[in-house]
């Protein structure tokens, strides 16, 4: 899960058209960083994006999240308006696990990234949903 930092304040200050351009820029940064067959990046809602990376470790997903985060940070001269926070969750499919658990873990990690100061990536562990560094 990827969320634009302070996006509401940006929209309120510069208007929705400017905010839309920021979202397009973030989407391009994500698209440029996710290129394997089977990878899927999508707008999840509002200023939030989801990236699905099948058959990849949490450590490698973290590296991709950091690549995205740094591309977004460098995308504009105004870095305060173009940073993202990332929450990463990884699971090996099993009978007891399902998508809502994965999304909840990624969302929890995303909130930890926001609470930790934004403009960072945090990895969650499953199934306990506890955070790991």
Give the pLDDT of residue 132.
46
Give the pLDDT of residue 95.
63
**48 tagged catalytic:** no
| Reported pTM | 0.88
Number of neighbours of residue 85 by Cβ within 10 angstroms: 26
Q: What band does 44 get if pLDDT is binned at 50, 70 and 90?
A: very high
Whether 51 has a pLDDT exceeding 90, the answer reads: yes
Whether 48 has a pLDDT exceeding 80, the answer reads: yes
pLDDT above 70: percentage of residues in the chain: 86
Q: Which CATH number fits domain 2-132: 3.90.850.10, 3.30.70.270, 1.10.240.10, 3.40.50.720?
A: 3.30.70.270
Domain boundaries, the chain: 2-132
Residues, the chain, total?
133
Structure tokens at 81: 């308006």
Residue of 47, 61, 71, 90 marked catalytic: 47
DSSP 65-102: HHHHHHHHHHHSS-GGGS-EEEEEE-----TT--HHHH
**How wide is the angle at C-alpha 61 spanned by C-alphas 108 and 34, nearest 5°?**
115
């Amino acid at each position: 899960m990827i969320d634009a930092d302070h996006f509401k304040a940006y929209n309120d200050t510069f208007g929705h058209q400017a905010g839309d351009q920021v979202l397009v820029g973030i989407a391009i940064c994500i698209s440029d960083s996710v290129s394997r067959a089977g990878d899927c990046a999508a707008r999840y809602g509002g200023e939030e994006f989801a990236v699905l990376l099948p058959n990849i470790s949490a450590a490698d997903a973290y590296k991709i999240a950091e690549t995205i985060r740094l591309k977004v940070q460098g995308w504009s001269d105004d870095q305060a308006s173009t940073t993202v926070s990332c929450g990463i969750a990884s699971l090996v499919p099993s009978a007891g696990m399902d998508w809502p658990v994965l999304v909840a873990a990624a969302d929890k990690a995303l909130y930890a990234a926001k609470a930790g100061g934004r403009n960072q990536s945090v990895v969650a562990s499953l199934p306990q949903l506890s955070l790991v560094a």
